[in-house]
Each structure stands twice: as C-alpha cells, then as structure tokens.
Amino acid sequence: MEKKQKLEKLATTLNKLNQLEAALKNSKNYTKEILDLEMLIEFVKEQVGENTHPTTG
C-alpha cells in the first residue's frame, strides 16, 4: 500500500475508532476495553500526524 493511500485509510479508520470509543463511553464506565481503545487511537493519531512531538514536529 502506498504511503498516501495508507494515511487516507488510517484517517478513515481513526474516525471509526473515535466513534466506537464515544459509543463505548456512553454505554458503560471506564473499562480496560476503553483504555485499550484510547491507546490505539493515540497511536493511530501519531501515524497520521495528528499527535506530534513538540520539538520534532
């Protein structure tokens, strides 16, 4: 998969993960499942450039 295509696919997946997280948070209290999902979301955000290191950009 080309880099651009991969990033687009990840951005779409990230949206779905965010929606899933919101749905889980509405349905139950903080659980391991939500924390795991939050961790993955943060990882994907880094991959698509949403979360960047403050010094390296």
Among 15, 19, 22, 39, binds another protein (CB under 8 A): 39
15 binds another protein (CB under 8 A): no
11 binds another protein (CB under 8 A): no
* Helical residues (DSSP H) of 1-57, grouped into ranges: 3-27, 32-48
Count Cα atoms within 13 angstroms, Cβ side, for 23. 6
How far apart are alpha carbons 33 and 24 in whole angstroms? 9
43 binds another protein (CB under 8 A): yes
From the CB of 31, what's the least distance to another protein, in Å?
Answer: 10
20 binds another protein (CB under 8 A): yes
